[in-house]
């Protein structure tokens, strides 16, 4: 019953716990030592004996009640949230961060976390918006939520004091990161930044919400604004796609600079 309440955001925040569902996510959660309690159906215990040694058995019906998916896999872990602060991440001397300002879609948040992990970024910072510990976000992150620091930097819905865009940007800049804010009307074109090799600098990429983009104060305060040039007739890239294009190009430029 307590676990079922973790499908709600408030309960997740208050308890510092969340649910990870399915074998891939549970495997990463166990490897990260983040599992507080593990539930498995008899079926799941048979299918994943290596994961379920310490699992409490539950009925398929209880598994379905805990699940946020249409086809529950019968394997659900209650996990501890890592409480990484922005200070911790900045103190480690990051070279590549991604900052999402009030993203709407938890699936996009999870996909950005997965992409940040895959390119070797140093962390993901969330300033308000969708909860990275939401079931959809956890699923979309495909285990990466347990691999790299994910920082809740505040925002209207956060438990902490709201962090104004400018203050967040100041802290990133003070840590030696060039803050690049993405917008369709950016002063710089991503292509040119790639050509000039300037992406090799320590960089924090900022992305706004799917519907409204970045707030004006963030655009005004960032070191630069960047557009990803559109060539066809689409109006914009999907948020997770835009982040992937920027992160891949930046990680590549940073590797090239460090080896060559």
Q: Which of 78, 150, 244, 250 binds a second copy (CB under 8 A)?
A: 244
# chain residues binding a second copy, by CB under 8 A = 36
Question: Of 12-20, 44-52, 56-64, 244-252, which segment contacts a second copy by CB under 8 A?
Answer: 244-252
Whether the Cβ atoms of residue 149 and residue 90 lie closer than 8 Å to each other: no
What residues pair up with 56 in beta bridges, in sequence order?
39
CB of 31 to a second copy, least distance (A): 9
Question: Of 11-19, 74-82, 217-225, 232-240, which segment contacts a second copy by CB under 8 A?
Answer: 232-240
Nearest one of 94, 96, 164, 98 to 128, comparing CA atoms:
164
Q: What strands lie across the sheet with 17-21, from one edge to the other?
A: 17-21, 75-80, 35-40, 56-57
CB nearer a second copy, residue 143 or residue 215: 143
The Cα diameter of the chain in Å comes to: 59
CB nearer a second copy, residue 159 or residue 232: 232
Q: Contact between 257 and a second copy (CB under 8 A)?
A: no
Question: What residues have CB less than 8 Å from 10, skipping those under 6 apart?
Answer: none
Q: Which of 61, 235, 258, 259 binds a second copy (CB under 8 A)?
A: 235
Q: Contact between 34 and a second copy (CB under 8 A)?
A: no
Strands (E), the chain: 17-21, 35-40, 56-57, 75-80, 96-101, 123-127, 150-152, 178-182, 188-189, 203-207, 224-227
Identify residues 79-108 at the interface with a second copy (CB under 8 A).
Answer: 107
Helix/strand/coil for 75:
strand
Q: Contact between 226 and a second copy (CB under 8 A)?
A: no
Q: Contact between 173 and a second copy (CB under 8 A)?
A: no
What distance lies between CA 138 and its chain's CA centroid? 9
Identify residues 114-153 at the interface with a second copy (CB under 8 A).
Answer: 114-121, 140, 142-144, 147-148
Q: Which of 185, 234, 258, 259 binds a second copy (CB under 8 A)?
A: 234
Q: Contact between 237 and a second copy (CB under 8 A)?
A: yes
Distance CA(114)–CA(120), nearest Å, equals 10
- Where do contacts with a second copy occur on this chain (CB under 8 A)? 107, 111, 114-121, 140, 142-144, 147-148, 191, 194, 228, 230-238, 240-241, 244-245, 248, 251-252, 255
């Amino acid at each position: 019953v307590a676990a079922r309440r973790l499908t709600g955001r408030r309960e997740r925040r208050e308890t510092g716990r969340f649910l990870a569902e399915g074998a891939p996510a549970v495997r990463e959660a166990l490897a990260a030592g983040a599992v507080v309690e593990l539930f498995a159906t008899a079926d799941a215990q048979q299918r994943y004996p290596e994961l379920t040694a310490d699992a409490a058995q539950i009925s398929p019906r209880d598994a379905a009640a805990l699940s946020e998916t249409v086809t529950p896999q019968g394997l659900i872990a209650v996990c501890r949230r890592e409480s990484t602060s922005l200070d911790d991440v900045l103190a480690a001397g990051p070279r590549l961060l991604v900052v999402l300002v009030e993203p709407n879609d938890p699936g996009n948040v999870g996909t950005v976390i997965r992409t940040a992990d895959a390119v070797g970024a140093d962390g993901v910072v969330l300033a308000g918006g969708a909860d990275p510990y939401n079931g959809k976000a956890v699923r979309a992150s495909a285990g990466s939520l347990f691999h790299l620091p994910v920082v809740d930097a505040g925002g209207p819905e956060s438990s902490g004091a709201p962090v104004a865009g400018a203050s967040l940007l100041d802290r990133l800049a003070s840590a030696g990161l060039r803050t690049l804010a993405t917008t369709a009307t950016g002063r710089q074109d991503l292509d040119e930044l790639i050509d000039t090799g300037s992406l090799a600098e320590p960089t924090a990429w900022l992305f706004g919400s799917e519907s409204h983009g970045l707030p004006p104060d963030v655009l005004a305060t960032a070191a630069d604004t960047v557009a990803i040039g559109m060539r066809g007739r689409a109006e914009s890239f999907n948020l997770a796609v835009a982040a992937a294009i920027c992160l891949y190009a930046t990680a590549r430029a940073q590797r090239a600079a460090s080896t060559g």
